[in-house]
Amino acid sequence: MDLNLSNKNALVCGSSQGIGKAIAIQLASMGANVTLFARNLEKLNEVKAQLANNGSQEHFAICADFSDTPAVSRALKEQLTVVPQYHILINNTGGPAPGPANTAKSEEFITAFNQHLINNHQITQSVIEGMKEAGYGRIVNVISTSVKQPLQGLGVSNTVRGAVASWGKTLSNELGQFGITVNNVLPGATNTVRLESIIKNKAAKQGLTIEEMEAEEKSIIPMRRFGEAEEFANVVGFLASPAASYVTGVSIPVDGGRTSCL
C-alpha cells in the first residue's frame, strides 16, 4: 500500500491544536511538506517545530483568523507565491458555539456559514488548478458526525456542517475526472479543547459534574471511550495518500461507533 507523500505539499487548516495539529503531524510523518494555517502564530510555530523532517521537507506557518474571510484569502494568496502548488488540502476550523437552533440569531448562522463553507470554498478554489496540473489532488473536509445524525444542542453547527458535506459531495462529482478526490471525515467525541467546552456546557445545563457528564457521554459510544486526535489523523492520512485514489465523495465517521445510522 502506497502511503508515501514525499514531494507532496499539504495545506492544513486549523492546525494549531487538536485534530488539525494531529493531521499536520501525521502528513509530515508520511513525507509531505506541510503548511500550517490558523490564527495563532505562536502556537503554529510550536507545532511546526514538532513536524517530522527527513532533510528534504520544508514546512511553513501562515496566520489568519477564520472569522475574517478576507484575511484568510489574503494570507493564502501571499503563501501561494511561496508554494504555488498544493496537492493536499485539509479544510478544518473550530465549530460554532453550542445552543439550540430555535433561539439562534440569524447572524450566528451567517457567521458560521462564512467561517466554514465560504472559507472552505475560497481556499479550495485557490488550490484546484494546481491539483489539476499535478494530476493529483486530495481534499479532505473535517466536519462532524452531525451531517449523518444531528447532535442535540448544536443547532447552528448541525445546519452549517450539513451544507459543507453537501458541498464536498458536489465537488467530488465535478473534480473526479482530474484525479482529485474530495471526502468528508466526521469526528465524533474526540479528546480536544472543543469537546471539553461542549461537556462543560452540557454539565452546567444538566446540573452534573464534568466527570458525570463525561461518563454519560462515553456510555452511548460502543467503544466506551473518547477518541484521540491521532486516531482521527490516521484516517485522514490514508485519504490523502496515493492508496486512496479510488475513494471519493464519501462521509466517514471516526466516532467509535456512536453514529447509529448506516
The closest alpha carbon to 11, from 74, 116, 84, belongs to: 84
**What structural domains does the chain harbor?**
9-188+228-253 (3.40.50.720), 190-226 (no CATH)
Q: Where are the beta strands (DSSP E) in 64-208?
A: 88-91, 137-142, 180-187
Report whether pLDDT(98) > 90: no
Rg of the chain in Å (alpha carbons): 18
Which helix H or strand E contains 63, and what residues bound it? strand 60-63
The answer to whether 165 and 143 have CB atoms below 8 angstroms apart is yes
- C-alpha to C-alpha distances, 15 to 92, 113, 138, 190, 200, nearest whole angstrom: 8, 20, 17, 15, 23
For residue range 101-160, what is the model confidence (pLDDT) as tens digits? Answer: 999 999 999 999 999 999 999 999 999 999 999 999 999 999 999 999 999 889 999 999
Longest CA–CA separation in the chain, Å: 56
Q: Around Cβ 135, how many Cβ atoms within 10 Å?
A: 10
For residue range 216-248, what is the model confidence (pLDDT) as tens digits? Answer: 999 999 999 999 999 999 999 999 999 999 999
Output the pTM of the full model.
0.96
The closest alpha carbon to 251, from 170, 159, 143, 154, belongs to: 143
